[in-house]
Amino acid sequence: MIVNQHPPPSKSGRPTKVFYGNQVSVAPPTFVFMTNNPQKTNFAYERYVSNQFRFHFGFEGTPLNFIWRKKKSTHSRKSGKRS
């Protein structure tokens, strides 16, 4: 919902994709987002996400932590047949 309204910044022509996010802690609320390139996520976009969380989910006055991680690939790039 938040990412669809305002997508993350892109650099070098490749858009940053946010695949999913999870809440991993409650004191303070900490959220982990899996992306294709976490280094592209800048402070301004993190502030935008924080403000949207506060508005939509009632986190007014609560410190929020966001962790941006690279999603691990589930597909092998090796070619060959299975045995």
Please state, in angstroms and as integers, the Cα–Cα distance from residue 58 to each residue in 15, 62, 65, following that order.
29, 9, 15
Averaged pLDDT for residues 55-79:
84
Q: What are the tens digits of pLDDT across the range 29-40?
A: 999 999 988 888
What's this model's pTM, rounded to 2 decimal places?
A: 0.78
State residue 41's pLDDT score. Answer: 83
How many domains would you assign to the chain? Answer: 1
| Percent over 70 (pLDDT), the chain | 89
Structural domain span for residue 56: 2-70
75 falls within a domain: no
36 falls within a domain: yes
* Region label for 82, one of left (φ > 0), alpha (ψ between -120 and 50) or beta (otherwise): beta
Q: What is the CATH number of the domain that holds 9?
A: 3.30.300.20
Averaged pLDDT for residues 23-51:
91
Mean residue pLDDT across the chain: 85
